[in-house]
């Protein structure tokens, strides 16, 4: 009987430590994934292999993205990002308080 109890205890501890391999998604990771979904399938022409951009944004009290700046060499990328993200509601539990987020984008040319 004592061996059975030890076995059950070891099983419970092992399951608790190694049983849950699904990492918990943080609110910032969730926000990044939502933005990635909003920016899928860009309909812009890219001359190079890829175009890099840096987006600065904040979240308003309604949970909407407010794009502050888009730093890119391409004006079409700036227009695309602003049109896709500005005032899009996201399901985020991030403490807003005027925090400015920076997001680096790399838009690849599908034909290269």
Encode pLDDT of 99-108 as tens digits: 899 999 988 8
Encode pLDDT of 35-75 as tens digits: 999 988 877 777 778 889 999 999 988 889 999 999 998 88
Compute the chain's Rg from CA coordinates.
22
pTM: 0.72
Which residue's entry shows tokens 């049109």? 83
Q: What is the pLDDT of residue 5?
A: 53
Q: Which residue, 91, 100, 75, is CA-closest to 35? A: 91
Encode pLDDT of 67-106 as tens digits: 999 999 888 889 999 999 999 999 877 777 778 999 999 8
Q: How far apart are CA 71 and CA 58, in angstroms?
A: 15
């Amino acid at each position: 009987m004592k061996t059975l109890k030890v076995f059950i205890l070891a099983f419970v501890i092992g399951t608790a430590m190694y049983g849950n391999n699904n990492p918990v998604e943080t609110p910032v990771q969730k926000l990044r994934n939502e933005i990635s979904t909003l920016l899928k399938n860009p309909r812009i022409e890219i001359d190079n292999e890829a175009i890099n951009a840096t987006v600065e944004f904040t979240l308003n009290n309604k949970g909407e993205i407010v794009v502050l700046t888009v730093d890119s060499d391409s004006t079409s990328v700036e227009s695309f990002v602003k049109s896709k993200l500005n005032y899009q509601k996201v399901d985020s539990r991030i403490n807003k308080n005027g925090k400015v987020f920076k997001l680096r984008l790399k838009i690849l040319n599908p034909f290269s």
